[in-house]
Amino acid sequence: MNQKDNPELDEFVIATVRKILPYGAFCTLDEYGDREAFIHISEVASRWIKNIHEFLKEGQKVVARVFRMVPEKNQIDLSLKRVSDIDRRRKIESYRKEKRAAKLFELVEKRIGKPHEQVWRDMGEVLVEKFGTLYSAFEEAVMSECSLDSIKAPEEWKSIFKEVAAQNIKKPRVRITGTLTLTCNDADGIEIIKRVLHGAVEGLGVEEEARVTYLGAPRYMVAVTAPDYKKAEKAVATVFKNVKDGIEEKQGCATFEREEK
- What would the pLDDT profile of 39-57 be if each residue is shown by its tens digit? 999 999 988 898 999 999 9
Q: Give one DSSP letter per residue of 24-60, joined into a string.
A: EEEEEETTTTTEEEEEEGGGT-SS--S-GGGT--TT-
Q: Over the stretch 112-168, which tens digit does the pLDDT of each residue have?
A: 999 999 999 999 999 999 988 899 899 889 888 888 998 999 999 999 999 999 999
> For residue 2, what pLDDT band results from cuts at 50, 70 and 90?
low
- Average pLDDT over every residue of 245-252: 89
Interatomic CA distance for residues 135 and 102, integer angstroms:
8
Amino acid at 261: K
Q: Which residues of 233-246 are buried (b: 16+ CB within 10 A; e: fewer)?
A: ebbbebbbebbbeb
CB atoms within 10 A of CB 226: 23
Interatomic CA distance for residues 159 and 150, integer angstroms:
13
What is the model's pTM? 0.66
Q: Give one DSSP letter per residue of 99-147, joined into a string.
A: HHHHHHHHHHHHHHTS-HHHHIIIIIHHHHHHHSSHHHHHHHHHH-TTT
CB atoms within 10 A of CB 109: 20
Structural domains of the chain ordered from first start: 12-79 (2.40.50.140), 85-168 (1.10.150.190), 174-258 (3.30.70.1130)
Among 161, 169, 170, 31, residue whose Cα is nearest residue 106: 161
> For residue 3, what pLDDT band results from cuts at 50, 70 and 90?
low
3-class secondary structure, 181: strand
Asked whether the beta carbons of 192 and 245 are under 8 A apart, the reply is no
Interatomic CA distance for residues 8 and 55, integer angstroms:
25
Q: Over the stretch 196-241, which tens digit does the pLDDT of each residue have?
A: 988 888 888 888 889 888 888 889 999 998 888 888 899 999 999 9
